[in-house]
Chains A and B, each alone.
Chain A
Amino acid sequence: MNGNVLLLANDPDFMIKGIFSYNLFGNTVWITTTHVSILIVMILLLTFSAVVHSKLKKLDPYKAPPMLVNIAEYIVEFVNNMAEGVMGNKAAKFFNYIATIAIFILISNISGLLGLRPPTADYGVTFPLGVISFCLITFNKFKWQKPIGVLKGLCDPWPFWLPINLIGDFAVPISLSLRLFANILSGTVMMALYYGLLPFFVKIGIPSALHVYFDLFSGAIQTYVFCMLTMTYISDAIGDN
């Protein structure tokens, strides 16, 4: 069914595949390649953080820190500077969330280099991320502006503007998640088309440049954009308090 419009023997294959199914309260639930990719990404992150933690514990202040500690410090410092640049003195409260989401999305996006199907090329992964961000934004809106302020913001120019503002608010998680999803999916599709449709002699060397663009560059930019937009919306919600 899939891809039969291309009419080729070796169809490019980038779809999500089910690995096995089980019954849960009468529904068939599939374990797919996305779950496996997420598990691998998770194991990578957990191993990295466990190793860094053990190295940090026996860190000797009179010696040069080991390589892994330097990398971890660089990551923390980068995200910290980014958060403080946007949110100022409120950044410390949201740093945990932003850093978690940034590291997870970044490793997921560049997991195409490890031969996995990137987990973020599945709308079932990016939509929850968008919804979590949306909940955080809305919670902070109600916390800092109080319900009266939220209502005032919804009726901004005139009261009959309310439905449009409401749609604009609910479009936030959808546009956040669709942007990430479509960017990574387009990279995955392009790589699958390149590997699936062309003769073998162009598959030597040239794909590395494509991988650098579609996996590394695009993935890093989309991670940055997702975190940056989340922080911008949060600092908008907080206002001048």
Chain B
Amino acid sequence: MNISGVEFIKGCSAIGAGLALIAGIGPGIGQGIAAGHAASAVGRNPGAKSDVTSTMLLGQAVAETTGLYGLLVGMILIFVQPLAK
């Protein structure tokens, strides 16, 4: 089986995209921790539910950013293929 150089690079780009999406682990753990602490905060003080929820969503969205960078790298590797040009 003959594999040309460009095809080899495309295959490696797909593997790289898969590896880049490992970045999703960190935000997942972080968002889970934030949601857990928000749940315990609401359990202690149910009156502050709306404040706690909005703070939690804001923090989770900021924590999500690093995972999204990984997603962008993966998407660029698959759909733009800068290395195979």
Number of interface residues of B (CB under 8 A): 18
Which residues does chain B contribute within 8 Å of A229, judged by CB atoms?
58, 62
- Which secondary structure dominates chain A's binding surface? helix
Asked whether any CB of chain A lies closer than 8 Å to the CB of B68, the reply is yes
Asked whether any CB of chain B lies closer than 8 Å to the CB of A132, the reply is no
Asked whether any CB of chain B lies closer than 8 Å to the CB of A195, the reply is no
Q: Determine whether the beta carbon of B69 is less than 8 Å from that of A15.
A: no
Nearest-CB residue, chain A, relative to B66: A175
Q: Determine whether the beta carbon of A3 is less than 8 Å from that of B69.
A: no
Interface string of A219-239 (1 = CB under 8 A from B): 001101100110000000000
Given A5-B10, A221-B57, A228-B58, CB of A179 within 8 Å of CB of B64: yes
Q: Report B64-82 residues with CB < 8 Å from chain A CB.
A: 64-65, 68-69, 71-72, 75, 78-79, 81
Asked whether any CB of chain A lies closer than 8 Å to the CB of B33, the reply is no
Which residues does chain A contribute within 8 Å of B72, judged by CB atoms?
178, 182, 185
- CA gap between A5 and B79 in the complex, in Å: 8
Nearest-CB residue, chain B, relative to A186: B71
In whole Å, how far is A174's beta carbon from the nearest beta carbon of chain B? 10
In whole Å, how far is B48's beta carbon from the nearest beta carbon of chain A? 13
Q: Determine whether the beta carbon of A15 is less than 8 Å from that of B79.
A: yes
- CA gap between A2 and B10 in the complex, in Å: 12
Nearest-CB residue, chain B, relative to A123: B72
Q: Determine whether the beta carbon of B68 is less than 8 Å from that of A222.
A: no
Hey, which bits of chain A sit against chain B, CB under 8 A?
1-3, 5, 15, 175, 178-179, 182-183, 185-186, 189, 221-222, 224-225, 228-229
Hey, which bits of chain B sit against chain A, CB under 8 A?
10, 13-14, 54, 57-58, 61-62, 64-65, 68-69, 71-72, 75, 78-79, 81
